[in-house]
Structure 1
Amino acid sequence: MISTSKKAMLAAIAVCSVLLLSACTNNSSAPNSNTEAVQENSQNQSGENQNSTNPDHSSDSDNTAASEQLVSEFQSLLEQDGKLPEAFDFLDKHADQLKPEHASQMLLALEDAQIKELQSLLDRYFSGNNQEQIAGIYEIGDSLEELIHKAKDADLKAMLQETLDSGYQLNTTEGMFGPELDYRRTAQYSDIATEDTAAYLKLKSAESEQASQRDAALVIPWEELLKRAAAAEDFLNNYPDSSSKEDVAAMFSNYKNTVFLGANNTPLFAYENKVMDEEARKAYTDAVAGDAAAEGTLLGDLKKFMDEAAKSNYKLTDSLEQFRDQLIK
């Protein structure tokens, strides 16, 4: 049976980690009818070797084929357990040979493999006396690199090193220690990926750099919360066909709820007197000033909410609560 502490860690990691990856789309198509054959024969009559008159086309085809082959090799690597460090090495070695669409395919497949292996790695953190050993050397703010340097036990040091090399970072929820995806690692390859994948990794790496919530509390400023929510909303508007849209939609929903509700341990309206948090009030008032709060956007909804809240001197009344419920349903 899983302990309460481990359940808390699993729940926290589930919030931080993505829970989806669409299957890779097969863009190949079969040749169609005799028309193409006729066209091909007609084209070949202009010369025995078309590539001699269009070397750029030949070169591009060769590069695409080579890039596709790398994708195949990478996917074969990920099908093997415990190969995440090798997968990152593979990316480092072949990054400049990949087409953007293939780089994105590989990065998202890598994310999927990390999610798949997360549970088994987490189990190892809770086996033996690993929790106690980490607690004995951990100081607030320590990175994995610092823990690896401090660790004296060879097995513990090896597990921490594997965690780092596999693209994870340390999660310290409720005094427990475990791995979580570190999107800053994959975001390093954003410049070789498609625009939507680069934008997706930027959103996720912001959470890896500083999670918006820890232990049911908002741990970033309200201004930063709005910034991340707006960025997620922009992604959904700019890339409606992205394979990452469902994950970003879940992020946006979580951000939006936090904007209007706060977190359990950082409520937007105080539990005692139901008055809006002063820092949130200032951040929200500044955010909706001017032309930024367009109709139909998060900031547009927030402006309506703040206008309504002003009527009750920013105190949560029954009518304001009902108005808020309509905005976040």
Structure 2
Amino acid sequence: MSATACSSNPGASPNSGTSTPIVTPPKETPNDNEKKPQEKLEALLQKELSQTKDVAEAVGLTERYMKGVTTEQADQMFMLLEGFYETHLQEAEAQVSNPEVQQKLLQLKWPITLEQASTVKDTELKDLMTNLLKGKYKLESAEGMIFPVVDYEALKSFQPNVSKPMQDYITLMADDSNRPVAKDAGLVISREELIQRTLHAEKFLTSYPASPRYDRIKQLYLNELHMVLFGLDNTPTYDWDSFKLQAEMKQELQKLAQDRENTLTGDMVKEFLAVLKLSKDQLYVKDQGEQKDVPEVRAYMDQMEQRVDTLIRTRTTEG
């Protein structure tokens, strides 16, 4: 897991009449998808994306190439755009991290929108903000710093083109980009919402085990499950002095295991509680003033991903 849409220019359909005069055909554009071998479109888009560093242009190219293609091709194109973000995110961060830019951005009203960007008098800042926002980034702030993140809510504009699994993937990613689970080493959403997000990620994994985005959502799921069980440094599920699971958290986990007994998450929590029974609810122990692992708990954590994979294979609904 560290810039909305450009307008497209649809190609003209060929005239099928026989009485019209012969004319020179228009120059082929990326929108004339019916004129190109379908299997080559993804490679053509990839080539064009590799030749630009402009994120707004990258989004526009992807939108144009997606017109009239199959959902399978649209999925590949969407992932190519994600690859563009991964390659160029550091460049976008560098543009925004300039101290002068930071000061100017901090003076603006949040959240920063395209409409607000259009009113900025500083031409360079205006162009930077407009390009990032049209490229489906959004600006976030933490610890006094402003930085760009991919705005998956804006990327929902691609959902009509892609497959149902990819639509659901975008929705999960949008939930995370709209309201991050954690910030500054602490949970910033309710534990109830955290549990619901964990269950939503689980549903994706069990519904679409063949998805090319399975591994990404599995990592999201494992991160969220870990937060359900252990919390975070600033919002732990255990007492900081004794490293023992808090009584109210134990009750919450017991209820979760009972209410969701037929789910992957319910099974994982049930197994975790069995481990804690052996450790007498100790998630860690204090040894000469230092936090040390409990062997049984460490073993559970080390095999968590493998156990998730095993349980998913027994309950998948695809194939």
Is the TM value for this pair above 0.5? yes
Contact 1:305-1:323 within 8 A present in 2 as well: no
Deviation at 1:272, TM superposition (A): 3.8
1:231 aligns with 2:203: no
Residue from 64, 84, 87 that aligns with 1:113: 84
CA contact (8 A) 1:222 1:279 kept: no
- Tell me: CA distance 1:74–1:313, structure 2 relative to 1, closer, same or farther (3 Å): same
Q: Return closer, same or farther for 1:146/1:289 CA change in 2, 3 Å cut-off.
A: farther
Unaligned residue ranges in structure 2 (runs of 5+) = 3-32, 286-292, 303-319
1:302 aligned residue (269, 273, 288): 269
Alpha-carbon distance, 1:104 to partner: 0.4
Aligned to 1:249: 218
Query: Which residue is 1:190 aligned to?
Result: 159
SS of residue in 2 equivalent to 1:178: strand
Secondary structure of the residue that 1:269 maps to in structure 2?
Answer: coil
Out of 228, 232, 237, which is 1:268 matched to?
237
Distance in 2 between residues matched to 1:293 and 1:65, nearest whole Å: 51
What letter is aligned with 2:125?
Answer: L
Following superposition, the deviation at residue 138 of structure 1 comes to 4.5
1:326 aligns with 2:295: no
Alpha-carbon contact 1:64-1:99 (below 8 Å) kept: no
Q: Residue 101 of structure 1: which of 72, 86, 99 is its match?
A: 72
Give 1:159 shift: 0.9
Q: Distance in 1 between matches of 2:284 and 2:51?
A: 56
Deviations 1:141-181 (A, max 9, x none): x2344652563322112111111111211121211011111
TM (normalized to structure 2)?
0.70
Gaps of 5+ in 1: 1-15, 18-61
For each residue in 1:15-52, what CA deviation from the matched residue of structure 2 results, as whole angstroms up to 9, or x when unmatched?
x45xxxxxxxxxxxxxxxxxxxxxxxxxxxxxxxxxxx
Confirm or deny: 8 A CA contact 2:102 2:146 kept in the other structure.
yes
What does residue 261 of structure 2 align with? 293
Matches within 5 A, 1:29-108: 67-68=38-39, 70-93=41-64, 95-108=66-79
Residues 56 and 135, structure 2, Cα contact 8 Å, conserved in 1: yes
Question: Cα gap change, 1:216/1:228 in structure 2, threshold over 3 Å: closer, same or farther?
Answer: same
* CA positional deviation for 1:244: 2.0
Out of 180, 187, 193, the position equivalent to 2:149 is 180
**Paired residue secondary structure (1:171):** strand
> Would you say how many aligned residue pairs link Structure 1 and Structure 2?
266
Cα separation, 2, equivalents of 1:87 and 1:283: 45
Contact 1:77 1:83 in 2 (8 A): no
Work out whether residues 101 and 193 of structure 1, in 8 Å CA contact, stay in contact via their aligned partners in 2: yes
- Displacement, 1:304? 3.8
SS at match of 1:152: coil
Which position in structure 2 is the counterpart of 1:202?
Answer: 171
Alignment check: 8 A CA contact 2:276 2:282 kept: yes
> Which residue number in structure 1 is paired with residue 5 of structure 2?
none
Cα shift at 1:136 = 2.3
Q: Which moved more, 1:130-139 or 1:168-177?
A: 130-139
- 2:181 pairs, out of 203, 212, 220, with 212
Deviation at 1:196, TM superposition (A): 2.9
* 1:260-313 Cα deviation digits (max 9, x unpaired): 2111111111314546457755653442224x2238x23212134346668999
Q: Deviations over 1:226-252 (max 9, x none)?
A: 222233333333333332233223222
Call closer, same or farther: CA 1:317–1:108 in 2, change over 3 Å.
closer
Superposed displacement of residue 72, structure 1: 4.0
Residue 105 (structure 1) shift: 0.5
Matching residue within 58, 82, 94 for 1:123: 94
Structure 2 CA distance, aligned partners of 1:136 and 1:213?
25
Instruction: Report SS of the residue matched to 2:298.
Output: helix
Please, what is the CA RMSD of the aligned residues? Answer: 3.3
Letter of the structure 2 residue corresponding to residue 116 of structure 1:
T
Q: Quick check: which one's helix share is greater?
A: 1
Is 1:170 aligned to 2:143, yes or no?
no
Supply the distance in 2 between the matched residues of 1:279 and 1:165 (Cα, whole angstroms): 45
Q: Displacement, 1:80?
A: 1.8
Paired residues of 1:144 and 1:170 also in contact (CA < 8 A)? no
Q: Is the 8 A contact 2:276 2:297 kept in 1?
A: no
Which stretch shifts more, 275-284 or 307-316?
Answer: 307-316
Is the Cα–Cα contact under 8 Å of residues 131 and 177 in structure 1 kept in the other structure? yes
